[in-house]
Structure 1
């Protein structure tokens, strides 16, 4: 696809990802999503945007941390390609950009979570070379 540009979304523009984020998370109230996104930007979080002719069609949050078992790692989070642009190889393009970017700033690994019911994503990530290491548990207080 021509005219694709991938870049870090400036913190001041982070709320532009809400329409895509809602494609993945339709159950959380938009006001809550806004508040959480703004708070995330104060932590070790950045967001990458994929643009087609200056239109945002894909995103991936990036969490940066160091783990004792793999070193400096990035966690792609809420990786989303707009539904009308899926199955065109754009997810692979986005992840390759992320891999190149994080390696250029000294990161050694990438790890992620995906929803159990999102079977298509499991195959996609396994094809990308990710290995299943365990289960992700969540307890909300």
Structure 2
């Protein structure tokens, strides 16, 4: 694999189920494939886009993008479920993807890019700090 063979492009909503095998690697094993499909179908009806990282036609990475306008940031994009297949990690693809997202967001007049990462995922924290991200707060959740 060379970086010249890698392509980042939008995944059309008609092909969104292609991302399921990578989503399943994120550790959400309790979510069935049927439920993932239902949620993805709903997501593509909202302000959601999905980028794929391809080695030829092989999908090796994904990054969901949620576009919104926030009172504190203006127009922004939130990166969601970012994953690069294990076999392709440590080759600069994550950096390539975050740079792509930043440029794409600028083209869409976004003021900033934001994301969440699990508090115990220290390697991701280091990676995102190295890409110019800063921690602005905590993301709290409450299951209902």
| Unaligned residue ranges in structure 2 (runs of 5+) | none
Match 1:42 to one of 41, 45, 60 = 45
Match of 2:14 in 1: 12
Alpha-carbon separation, structure 2, partners of 1:120 and 1:20: 19
> How many correspondences in the alignment?
141
Shift of 1:52: 0.4
TM-score, structure 2 as length reference: 0.94
Task: After TM superposition, give the deviation of residue 98 of structure 1 in Å.
Answer: 1.0
Q: Which of these residues, 107, 110, 114, is aligned with residue 111 of structure 1? A: 114
Aligned to 2:138: 135
After superposition, the CA RMSD in angstroms is: 1.0
Q: How many angstroms apart in 2 are the aligned matches of 1:23 and 1:129?
A: 26
Give the stretch that moved more between structures: 92-101 or 57-66: 92-101
Displacement of 1:118: 1.2
Match for residue 78 of structure 2?
Answer: 75
Structure 1 unaligned spans of 5+: none
> Structure 1 residue runs of 4+, over 6 Å off?
none
**Matched position secondary structure for 2:115:** coil
Give the TM-score of the pair, scaled to structure 1. Answer: 0.96
Query: SS in structure 2 opposite 1:111?
Result: strand
1:59 Cα offset (Å): 0.5
